[in-house]
Amino acid sequence: MSSPWEAAADLVVVGTGVAGLTAALEASRRGLRVLVVTKAGARDGNTRWAQGGVAVVLPGEHDDGDSVRRHIDDTLVAGAGLCEADAVATVLADGPGAVTALRRVGARFDTLADGLLARTREGGHSAFRVVHAGGDATGAEVERTLLASARNRELTVLERQAAVRILRTPEGAAAGLVVLDDDGTFGILRAPAVLLATGGLGHLYQSTTNPDVATGDGIALALRAGATVADLEFVQFHPTVLYTGHDATGRRPLVTEAVRGEGAVLVDGAGAPVMAGVHPLGDLAPRDVVSAAIIRRLADAPGGVDDHVFLDATHLGGQMFQARFPTVYAACAAAGIDPATQPIPVAPAAHFGCGGVVTTVDGRTRVPGLYAAGEVARTGLHGANRLASNSLLEGLVVGARAARAALADHAAGVLADPRRAEVEDADASSSLSVAVAERPTLQRMMSRYAAIGRDADGLGVLADTLAEASTVRPVRTREDVENAALDLTARALVTAAQERLESRGCHVRHDYPVPDDLQWRRSLVVELDESGQVAPARVLALGGVA
Ligand code: SIN
């Protein structure tokens, strides 16, 4: 094994999605030396796959009566009592500025004949306020814009470098990052500030809308560095993911909620509407409500079709569908489905981790020098169920804020000297021995016992299986890094899910079917104990990062 190479920066950003690139660009513009690392290629993150859009209320471009205040209210309702109201207010208030800034550097959103932005509606929104690009390719346009800016600024992006662990000083402050490339060579990146923007955790499950990179890496890195995570039990399942057979696994094509925004209706195998009488917003109810209604309908099916329902968008006609939803149309065509004449078979699949590394709304964690932004972070914006299209917005807003927080912390002299990072010897970076579960077993058990519909028995079986299925061994490859991250993230999630004895938002328990505001209208924090094991969950102090 070759000895590790070394590099230094003021800020290391892990991830090339919307939050990571926004942070890196902001920090670079403000004079910090920035290194961006990603375990895959720069374009391989989750951002590219975002379809629906960015939820934002822009001055002069909104429905009558719509306002940032109403956007805040919709977010709080969707979050099922667990959002932090101050976090919601401050992040959404910065949304219009963030979108305007992105357009200024070249993002092209869809417009109407009068030149104003086209707006659609998604689940949980009381107004048409979701702006989009390329019809249903909003994430791709956001990513294109940010990567072009990164090229213009000559940002250094180190590709195919998996983040193994965060370097720390003897006092516990972040001081850099150990990375591992595809050839098994380790690198040491010394920096007083490290920003995690690693995205989500969809590959905890057999079927997900997330790309291969979404393996919970940032959650595991943060936990091992001494940070806390919260709200991890709230995994959002997107209701309409293209169904191509019960054995289809891995990343599955999304059928954006905006299709329902344009009038499509969910029906069961017998053609009966799924959402009739379930919620006042019908097919555009918040996502947790729609996914749970589908699962209930499937469970009640008298024989016949019992693992998918249908999204009927035939009213749109072929030309309109193809023009407005080119990505979905292509996925349907590849599966032999014509949305103009056939209802689209769909089923829920893992989509978004509403919880994550506990941060302030500026991306600070409780570990000095460690920041997080985007899906990996838990700012308090999403609560128990994220409002549709709030995530690109959060990535833009909190990504930029986290960069400014790192800059302010540099200026205030509160960050560590990265020369004091604990790197015991040349090969120390490879000596990280952690529990690594077999991925297929983990995904199968998580899908069975920790998806929509959980109970104490199933979660107990899952916890035992995770303990049995994992072995402690050194991390030598990217796959090891990912499997170890999945293992730790699953344990943390199951710990919180076992503890939360109620149903709320995306956490649906058969044995505790109703919300219990008195006991449980609070976030649960998970951290590691001194021996590196997941400690029992505890309640998060409001507004805190500890
Ligand atoms: C969608 O387009 O339905 C997904 C958008 C989101 O997850 O916010």
- Using one digit for the tens of pLDDT, what is the confidence trace for 115-152? 999 999 999 999 999 999 999 999 999 999 999 999 99
- Stretch 311-315: mean pLDDT: 97
Q: How many domains does the chain have?
A: 2
Same-domain check for residues 432 and 535: yes
For residue 447, the domain's CATH number is 1.20.58.100
- Same domain, residue pair 433 and 528: yes
Given 252, 287, 364, 366, which residue is catalytic?
A: 287
Task: Using the 3D structure, point to which of 288, 314, 348 is the last residue of a domain.
Answer: 348
- CATH code, domain with 297: 3.90.700.10
- Last residue of a domain, which of 348, 383, 398? 348
What pLDDT was estimated at residue 1? 55
Is 533 found in the same domain as 440?
A: yes
pLDDT at 43 over 90: yes
Is residue 385 within 6 Å of ligand 1 at its C-beta? no
Cα–Cα distance for residue pair 512/504, rounded to 1 Å = 10
256 part of a folded domain: yes
Residue 385 within a domain:
no
Asked, for residue 86, whether it belongs to a domain, the answer is no
Distance 46 CA to ligand 1 centre (A): 12
Q: Please work out whether the CB of residue 82 comes within 6 Å of at least one atom of ligand 1.
A: no
pLDDT exceeds 50 at position 426 = no
> Is residue 65 packed enough to be buried (19+ CB in 10 Å), middle (13-18) or exposed (0-12)?
exposed
Asked about 287 being catalytic, the answer comes back as: yes
Residue 408: inside a domain: no
Read off the pLDDT band of 429 (50, 70, 90): very low
Q: Which of 74, 251, 254, 311 to mutate to test the pocket of ligand 1 (most atoms within 8 A of CB)?
A: 254
136 located within any domain: no
Cα of 353 from ligand 1 centre, angstroms: 13
pLDDT at 339: 97
Answer yes or no: is 317 within a domain.
yes
Could you tell me what percent of the chain has a pLDDT over 70?
A: 96
Cβ(161)–Cβ(37) under 8 Å? yes
Rounded Cα gap, residues 200 and 300, in angstroms? 31
Domain endpoint, select from 348, 380, 398: 348
The closest of 38, 331, 279 to 160, measured between CA atoms, is: 38
Q: What is the pLDDT of residues 155-164, one digit of tens each?
A: 999 999 999 9
Q: Residues 527-537: pLDDT tens digits?
A: 999 999 999 99
pLDDT for 366 beyond 80: yes
- Ligand 1 centre distance from Cα of residue 78 (Å): 14
Does some domain include residue 118? no
Q: Which domain holds residue 479?
A: 428-539
Does residue 22 form part of some domain?
Answer: no
Cβ-Cβ contacts under 8 Å for 212 (sequence gap 6 or more): 40, 44, 203, 250, 251
